[in-house]
Amino acid sequence: MFNLIKMNLYRMRHAVSTWVIAIVTIVFAFMQFGSLKLLLDDPFHMFDAGEGAEMLGFSTVGGEHIITTLLHNSNILIIAAVFVVLFANAEHKSGFDKNLIGITNHKWKHALARWISAVIGMTCILAIGFVVLFGLCALFMNSFSFGSAAAMLKSAGFLYLGMVTFSAIFFFFTTLFKSSAGGIVASLVISLGILNLIEQLLDLAVNKIFSHPAYVPSDFFFDNAYMTFDASGAGMKAGLVFVAICLVYLALSVGGSMLLQQKRDVR
Amino acid sequence: MDYILTTNELTKTYGKYNAANEVSIHVERGGIYGLIGRNGAGKTTLMKMIGGLSRPTRGSFEIHGRNGETTKQMMPKVGILIEAPGLYPNMTAMQNLTTKAIALGINDKKYLKGLLEEVGLSNTGKKKAKQFSLGMKQRLGIAMALVNKPELLILDEPINGLDPQGIAEMRSILHHLCYDKGITILISSHILDELAKVATQYGIIHEGRLLEEETKEELFSKCCERLELKTNDISRTLEVLNMMGFSKMEVKDDSINIYERLNEGGAITIALAKENIQTNEIAVKTDALEDYYFQLTGGNKNV
């Protein structure tokens, strides 16, 4: 298992897509910095006093806000989705899996190792994004203060768990469709909130049929739970519910991918 | 007989279609087993099942005498190259080999360099796999299959699409692996003449079924030139032929096939006449491997 993870990390290091996505993340971090700088420091005096802070919901940028800005964003979700899908599919696409799957005892280990490696890669890319954004804010923003480390870790923990769960879902769809196109379409449907529209319709339908407005099915859909989750302000109960939803989807997605790998023939 | 691989009525079904139907092959250790069949005959399906890439619908197989669940323990001693080699196009030959080696816990650059030398790719340097010719890709595919030091090598159509020089190089690699390194090879092809130059054992597969399984000698005895003799008394004819010193012959149906001294048809006829045996027919006949295959499979489509 450890060797399979090492192998996946080796090929990740040699894949062009890894570096392209890392560069895109850095560009994204610069863009985020630009938008924060415009709104809070207002170098061109475009806003009335405090207007930018009102739009953002905070007046000084701290580590907690950088984490939230970075992870709670559909753009970064799309970057993560593309990375996971391309990485997960490369072994099927190149046919490299034929070299190994037949001679190893448990095929499911390949899926698990691939997913763990994808998470490691995604974490590194997010870390690069965080360091760049954090560094830019620390160096060039007047309204920067490090803030509370505990608050930063809390936000980071929740949102990172969410990203890991998303990676598992993207990974599952890629394994299911055996193609990056299938995986990317499924991932974009989630990242761009298209699935969310369907969930809203489901909520309406359920409420109409059962006349029970307190029951909201979309609360249990992972994408909705993630997008609406307030990582910095969440209380204990809301946090536990979010963690439970993440773990259920994580287990189902990774388990499903492993089962597909174990039972399916290699093309 | 020492078999490294035997299959027992191995069957793969897709819906109602039997891609491989109760195939039982017996691969002798230390030889090259050629699986002959036209496209879609079931060669790849059979090899995928043996190589652990596809689950058999029915049947089983033994590797090194292990079957059932214990077969899995023997799979690390199997090298597989099924259809096109699975390579990362943006990696060099060495990087592709290293990728597989890492997965298997092998950390020996010298060994990997040796593998590249064996397949004639030691001087490819930083050239990426996507820039390789088809022959180079196939050779790298073989090197990939050799990373885990296999005792059985499964090669599916490795000469398909190669130019004459590529085919000759592949032949020499196969000979080296089998006779110098002692690796048993199971190879499939629909190019009969090429397979005839390397294989020591043959399995002829058609529409998912194994039609015949023969040694090289058995197959060539059926395919090579022979003197076919038909007389009114087979047993007395055999006595006459024995007296004349013929030994390489066999009785088949109502005729005798003689595989030596093919230019002595006249002498045989005179000798038989002296013994009052009537010669009904005597002629030199040739069956090419291809003819024999067509005869077995009942057609000449696609081979």
Please give the ipTM for the structure prediction: 0.76
Q: Which helix (H) or strand (E) holds B214?
A: strand B209-215
The chain B residues in contact with chain A (CB within 8 A) are 48, 51-55, 72-73, 75-76, 78, 80, 82-91, 95, 98-100, 102-105, 144-145, 148
- Asked if B64 and B74 count as a contact pair (C-beta separation under 8 A), the reply is yes
Report the alpha-carbon distance of residue A77 to residue A80 in Å, rounded.
5
Report which DSSP code applies to A39. I
- Distance between CA atoms of B138 and B159, rounded to whole angstroms? 8
User: d(Cα A46, Cα A51) in Å, to the nearest integer?
Assistant: 10
Residue bearing the bigger pLDDT, B227 or A267: B227
In this prediction, residue B237 carries a pLDDT of: 92
Task: For chain B, say whether A48 makes contact (Cβ under 8 Å).
Answer: no
Beta bridge partners of B79: B153
Percent of chain B with pLDDT strictly greater than 90? 14
- Answer whether A15 touches B (CB < 8 Å): yes
pLDDT of A52 reads: 65
pLDDT of residue A120: 93
* Per-residue pLDDT tens digits of chain A, which is 267 residues long: 888 999 999 988 888 888 998 999 899 888 888 887 777 777 666 667 666 666 666 667 777 777 777 767 777 778 887 888 888 888 777 777 788 887 777 889 888 999 999 999 989 988 888 888 888 888 887 777 777 778 778 878 888 888 888 889 888 988 888 877 877 887 778 777 788 788 888 878 877 777 766 677 777 777 777 777 776 666 777 788 888 888 999 999 999 999 988 888 877
Does position B223 have pLDDT exceeding 90, yes or no? Answer: no
Which residues in chain B are closer than 8 Å to A14, comparing Cβ atoms? 88, 90-91, 95
Give the pLDDT of residue B302.
41
C-beta neighbour count of A77 within 10 angstroms:
25
Residue B301 has pLDDT above 60, yes or no: no
Q: Are B230 and B61 in contact (CB under 8 A)?
A: no
For all residues of chain B together, what is the average pLDDT? Answer: 84
User: Distance (Å, rounded) from C-alpha A72 to C-alpha A10?
Assistant: 29
Domains present along chain B, CATH in parentheses: 3-220 (3.40.50.300), 225-286 (3.30.70.980)
Over range B235-253, report the average pLDDT. 88
Q: Does A13 touch chain B (CB under 8 A)?
A: no
- Give the domain ranges of chain A: 2-192+229-263
Amino acid A213: pLDDT: 64
Contact B87, B55 (CB under 8 A): no
Higher pLDDT pick, B158 / A182? B158
Average of per-residue pLDDT across B99-119 = 88
